[in-house]
Amino acid sequence: MKNKLRTLTEPFRIKMVEPLKITTEEFRVSTLKNAGYNPFLLRSSDVFIDLLTDSGTGAMSDKQWAGIMIGDESYAGARSWEHLEAVVKELTGMKYILPTHQGRAAERILYGILGGPDKIFISNTHFDTTRANIEFTGATAIDIIYDEAKDPEVDLPFKGNIDLGKLKSLITKHGKENIAAVIITVTNNSSGGQPVSMQNVKELRKICDEHQLLLVIDGCRIAENAYFIKHREEAYKDKSYEDIAKEMLRLGDAFIMSAKKDGMVNIGGLLTMKDEALSLKCKNQLIISEGFTTYGGLAGRDMEALAIGLTEVFDADYLHYRIRSTAYLGENLRAKGIPVVWPIGGHAVYIDAKKLYSHIPVEEFPGQVLACDLYVKGGIRCCEVGSVMFGKYDENNKLIAAENELVRLAIPRRVYTQSHIDYVLDVFDDILELKEQTKGFHITYEPPFLRHFTARFEKN
């Protein structure tokens, strides 16, 4: 067995099951038609494998469920808060810890205080809720990854890195006093879940020190990022995942986390920082909108489960399984000839639908077509990340297409087994077989904002 690739096995066994409905293709054809060919409008009970998002969709462990039972629901100074605070202080090295109900609540509080008209935020890539919370204050959000990392096929180890050269020019151009913060998102969700190197964050820290800029780490996938550092950055090959995450978090001035990702819970968020004066302003906002400082928007049981989840996520066997199972799907799709964004990131596989359905023009939404075909052929739900999500119209009502027409298969944590993933791979054989016959869509209804959630389509 030495040189043979072993089957990737799940480092857990199943103690509780959630039955899934197996449906017929005929059922799925009519269900999808009723949902206006928009997978967001499907009922989850009509979906077999749900790869819509990895956010809040993970499975908790027996220890986390046990933690739920001993959660302390006291309004102030609860035991579960003390547990969570201790774990997060140890992880981040930061003194001020605020619990929130989701990542975006932490963003609204921090960026609401730092932002405002004429302010500038700079990031590798702002996640959409990050950008929305910044722009809502009247500030501007600028994304800067390296140009070569924008090529979906180029094989680079850290395509999530922030472009330090562009950062320096932006500081010169706008003046450091107008830059509210630099935000490093690890892994870089909106650019394919690609990792950020420790080297990059260390150099970023130096630049922020030179210009007295606030460095925020948006680290909801900090453990997944640590996996890539250990395996791709020579200096870290003997360090533990937890120590790598601790080292990176100590380079930041503040940390924001959607606990629905590497927190391994279904709801929750965190906002932490080093500066006392800033923390007092944030606590005021927290009390107004989320809750008292020792629970934020969370129940005591939520905080207990999160404290345990933040420890479990660094387990070496878990992280290996997590990253390798995402890569297993991506590598096998690529081997079948499905064009995927390369290399495979931490939490999702992205398929280039424009390339796969080269006969469907972007005006007919090839990504939406693929997402729908996957539901019809296999009951798989996933999400278009292309012109349905980001497309705009010019004054002649002509589509200004998104940069890419992608489909995202996001992998929930500890939910599906390798046989589920093998099933997904099998469904792609049908997709390849039928791809010449598949047809484009036109939109029959669209709301003025965030149309991908509620738009309806018809077949051409």
Contact positions toward ligand PLP, by CB under 6 A? Answer: 55, 102-104, 127, 129-130, 185, 189, 218, 220, 258, 260-261, 269
Residue 127 C-beta-side C-alpha neighbours within 13 Å: 23
How far apart are CB 58 and ligand PLP at their closest, in Å? 13
List the beta strands (DSSP E) in 278-371.
348-352
- What crossing angle do the helices spanning 79-92 and 241-249 adopt, rounded to 10°? 80
CA max distance for the chain: 63
| C-alpha angle 125-370-415 in degrees, rounded to nearest 5 | 70
DSSP symbol at 73: -
How far apart are CB 189 and ligand PLP at their closest, in Å? 4
For residue 204 the two structure tokens come to 């970023």
Q: Which is nearer to ligand PLP, 186 or 421 (CB)?
A: 186
- What crossing angle do the helices spanning 366-378 and 418-434 adopt, rounded to 10°? 120
- Which SS3 state, helix, strand or coil, does residue 33 take? helix
Q: Which is nearer to ligand PLP, 131 or 205 (CB)?
A: 131
- Closest by Cα among 149, 118, 111 to 133: 111
Range list of H helices, 23-163 = 25-34, 62-69, 79-92, 103-114, 128-136
Residue type, position 453, single letter: F
Q: Which is nearer to ligand PLP, 100 or 438 (CB)?
A: 100
Q: Which is nearer to ligand PLP, 35 or 267 (CB)?
A: 267
Q: Which is nearer to ligand PLP, 160 or 366 (CB)?
A: 160
Q: Which is nearer to ligand PLP, 130 or 325 (CB)?
A: 130
State the Cα–Cα distance between residues 298 and 303, nearest whole angstrom: 7
Q: Which is nearer to ligand PLP, 171 or 305 (CB)?
A: 305
How far apart are CB 125 and ligand PLP at their closest, in Å? 9
How far apart are CB 389 and ligand PLP at their closest, in Å? 15
| Position closest to ligand PLP via CB | 103
How far apart are CB 194 and ligand PLP at their closest, in Å? 12
Residue 383 phi, psi (nearest 5): -130, 135
How far apart are CB 257 and ligand PLP at their closest, in Å? 8
How far apart are CB 103 and ligand PLP at their closest, in Å? 2
